[in-house]
Amino acid sequence: MIVIGKETKYSDSIKKYIEERGLQGRIQLLQGFTMEELSTIYAMAEAFVYPSMYEGFGIPIIEALYSGTPVITTRSGVFPEAGGPSSLYVDPQNIEELRHAIEKVLQDSSLRQKMIHDALEYVQQFNDDKIAAQWNALYHTLS
């Protein structure tokens, strides 16, 4: 498992958890990638798991979808909007639900392929030209 993110106070508790359970050889904590490198990592992943409790828009979810990577994320907040109908949604505090979703994606290749196909269609709404057109249309309604 690869965990990517900047160092925070929370990182210390993750490192402690990994050490206490002897998972050092199975989990890597990495950071400092360029956008091109992240895109490659997303594309190589069998799944992007983002059980966040922080309410951001979910740009990493959209990046994973563009890379053709199945997404498992939080069912509340803005995450369903970012992930669309092809992603799987979980309660980030429910470990069994999260485990089940990961196993489902990893073990069911037809589900994984459907998630990839549908996600690539869904994520097109976030293309720069479509967003620019929406902003332009909004601007014209205000003038």
- The answer to whether residues 52 and 92 touch, using CB atoms and an 8 Å cutoff, is yes
- CATH fold, domain 45-132, is Rossmann fold (3.40.50)
* pLDDT value for 133: 85
Higher-pLDDT residue of 140 and 109 is: 109
Task: Map out the domains of the chain as residue ranges.
Answer: 1-32, 45-132
**Phi and psi of 30, rounded to 5°?**
-130, 160
- Secondary structure E strands in 32-119: 48-50, 71-74, 88-90
pLDDT digits (tens, 9 = 90+) for 74-112: 999 999 999 999 999 999 999 999 999 999 999 999 999
* pLDDT value for 78: 92
What is the pLDDT confidence band of residue 73, given thresholds at 50, 70 and 90?
A: very high
